[in-house]
Amino acid sequence: MNAAPRVRGWSVRWGASVAGLVLLVLVLAVGWPGLQGYWGRDDFFQLALARMVGSPWPLFGSDHYPVPGSVFRPLGFASMWLDTWLLGTSYPAHALVDLVLHAAAALALLGLLRRAGGDVAAAALASALFALHPVTLGPALWWSARFDVLASLWLLLALQAGIAWCARPRPLTLLGALLAALAAMASKEIGLIAPALLVLLWLRHAWLDPALRLRAARAIAAAVALTLAFLAWRGQVLGTFGSGLLGDTALGEVLAAGLRAWARDVLGYLSWAAVLAPWQRGALAGALLMLALCCAALVAPRWRREDAPDPRAGAAFARGDLLWCGLGLVLLPALLQAPIARLNAAPLQAGQSAVEAAMQARLYYLGMAGVAIWLGVLLQACRGRVRALAWGASALLVGALGGAAHDAARASAQRSWHNGASARAAVAAVDRLPLARIPCRIVFIDAPQPPEWGGFVSMDGIVKALATDRGAIGRCWIFEDHTPTWFHLQEADAQPVDALPWTPLALAAAPLVWPRVGALAYAYLVPPAELDLHTVLGTHFLRWQDGRFQDISSDVAAGHVPVRLGDGAPTVPRHN
């Protein structure tokens, strides 16, 4: 008598496994061209940090970001440290790990839809939209968006466990939901959405199911306590409950400006219409029209079921959970990403480079998961001919956007590889230098800055991220002639006297403290007004010329080549 349920259960599990495997293969196939890319903005600093910090443990107890009091992402940075320890500085290897993490997030979404009662095929198709959309695949190929991918993965796992707890309130399930929420928060600030959505889910269940109220109250108290404990931990480490990214601007002004920028751009990124090929744009428009018709049919009297189920029971209850989760994933990131959106959000435009588009798209990574959840609910709710129409529209949508993601991955790889020419040349030039441990000074002249780097990439970060002999370069002071180096990564015992004639940056007439993170220190310096001959003789000068950096130290020492320091005028070294 029990044979049929066992066979059905085995069949469902087998179907879910096959769907998960197909998702993984599709993500790798569509994103594979991106593995031929190269490191980009912010990647160099974070790779250098991972190489120089020594171990991941100081990341959990130190302010590890170069802008003090700004962000606290210990688990995100620790994952980068682990990758670097295992894989070195190979971009394709790191990018492959990120693709797998992105596929894991898609599998977590698949599990969430299945946990809420969706059939395997509908859940897989909705998850494929998230997995293969350019707005998610692009950030997955930018190493610095690891924080978004990792936080989203843990958040989706937390929601899956939270819904499972509602169906069967067991302590281990609750513990799993809370630990996943903690991991999400420790990966990036958007992880704070995890406990917020868990609380909303459990409040809904407590409201509709009186038998669950006491347990739900305890679970909500645990989630709130966990969040407060994390915020206290973060505040203790950073010395503030805010963020240095706000500067002196009032929080309300930051939120207003950030929300305006996010609202201005969100539909453009989620549709990706501005950069689609004509046939893809037509497919997108047709698919959206068909899905709109399906939504209209669901509320039309002709298609409405007379025996509508009680909203407090079964699949209808689970679909309500998903709808709330989807809404939260679309809207809540706008609040937590507002400071970033205010600083550098830009709309998606035709002609925009694939690298820039991928960097901007990270703001909407989690929102795309919310859209995919809504699609999963729609596919599950449709019946008969409406169901066939919804499935056809969804398949068309996934095909068009998946093709666009494949094109974007290839274009991003080509552009990032081209942008990295100066970085590869810098490392090759430094590897040829006879470096003394102390003093060791290198000045790069006329180093190019690709537009996507935005002036935020320093040669110091590049060389310390990629130099073959990290031990030899760890105590070098690396400067540029006209692009400011906002901070220098140094071994933790570095002292200001080692950097002379560059001197510590001062705020309010007091030198800025150099933060220490494990075996690493962040040094903030200002250039001297001019170089004397003694300094020149102890410094290597490398100038960009004909696609490579040439050593012109002897010409500088002889006074044949003037050198620009910071924003000062070009000077010829003088005798002291």
Same domain, 320 and 394: yes
Going by C-alpha positions, the residue among 401, 434, 462 that lies closest to residue 551 is: 434
Buried b (16+ CB within 10 A) or exposed e, 497-512: ebbebbebeeeeeeeb
Same domain, 444 and 522: yes
Per the domain annotation, does 27 fall within a domain? yes
Q: To the nearest whole percent, how much of the chain has pLDDT over 70?
A: 90
Q: Which of 400, 417, 434 is the last residue of a domain?
A: 417
Question: What is the per-residue pLDDT across 367-400, written as a single tens digit (0 to 9) for each?
Answer: 999 999 999 999 988 888 888 999 999 999 999 9
Contact 444, 459 (CB under 8 A): yes
Per the domain annotation, does 395 fall within a domain? yes
- Sign of the dihedral through C-alpha 372, 377, 379, 380: positive
Q: Which residues contact 352 (CB under 8 A, 6 or more apart)?
A: 274, 275, 346
Same domain, 429 and 525: yes
Question: What is the per-residue pLDDT across 200-229, written as a single tens digit (0 to 9) for each?
Answer: 999 998 888 888 889 999 999 999 999 999
Same domain, 263 and 287: yes
Q: How far apart are CA 273 and CA 261, in angstroms?
A: 18
Q: Which of 392, 417, 442 is the last residue of a domain?
A: 417
- Residue 503 pLDDT level (bands cut at 50, 70, 90): confident
Per the domain annotation, does 23 fall within a domain? yes
Q: pLDDT at position 427, please?
A: 95
Same domain, 260 and 336: yes
Per the domain annotation, does 369 fall within a domain? yes
Same domain, 412 and 425: no
Q: pLDDT at position 34, please?
A: 96
Helix axes 314-336, 193-208, angle to 10 degrees: 150
The pTM assigned to this predicted structure is 0.92
Same domain, 407 and 452: no
Same domain, 241 and 363: yes
- Is the model more confident about 148 or about 498? 148
DSSP assignments along 215-284, one per residue: HHHHHHHHHHHHHHHHHHHHHHHHS-SS-GGGTTS-HHHHHHHHHHHHHHHHHHHHH-GGG--HHHHHHH
Same domain, 406 and 509: no
Element (H, E) at 478: strand 477-480
Structural domain including 19 reads: 3-36+90-417
How many structural domains does the chain have? Answer: 2
Q: pLDDT at position 468, please?
A: 87
Per the domain annotation, does 567 fall within a domain? no
Q: Which of 417, 444, 469 is the last residue of a domain?
A: 417
Q: Which two tokens stand for residue 109?
A: 């979404």
Instruction: Report whether pLDDT(8) > 60.
Output: no
Per the domain annotation, does 127 fall within a domain? yes
Same domain, 326 and 447: no
Same domain, 379 and 427: no
DSSP assignments along 407-459, one per residue: HHHHHHHHHHHHHTHHHHHHHHHHHTS---SSS-EEEEES----GGGTT---H
Q: Which residues contact 368 (CB under 8 A, 6 or more apart)?
A: 129, 130, 133, 135, 136, 270
Phi first, then psi: what are they for 349, rounded to 5°? -135, 150
- Residue 12 pLDDT level (bands cut at 50, 70, 90): low
Instruction: Report whether pLDDT(5) > 70.
Output: no
- Residue 100 pLDDT level (bands cut at 50, 70, 90): very high
Question: What is the per-residue pLDDT across 408-422, written as a single tens digit (0 to 9) for each?
Answer: 999 999 999 999 999
Question: What is the per-residue pLDDT across 117-153, written as a single tens digit (0 to 9) for each?
Answer: 778 889 999 999 999 999 999 999 999 999 999 999 9
Q: Which two tokens stand for residue 395?
A: 């398949």
Per the domain annotation, does 62 fall within a domain? no
User: How many CA atoms lie within 13 Å of 328's alpha carbon, on the beta-carbon side?
Assistant: 22
Same domain, 329 and 459: no
Per the domain annotation, does 77 fall within a domain? no
Q: How far apart are CA 467 and CA 487, in angstroms?
A: 18
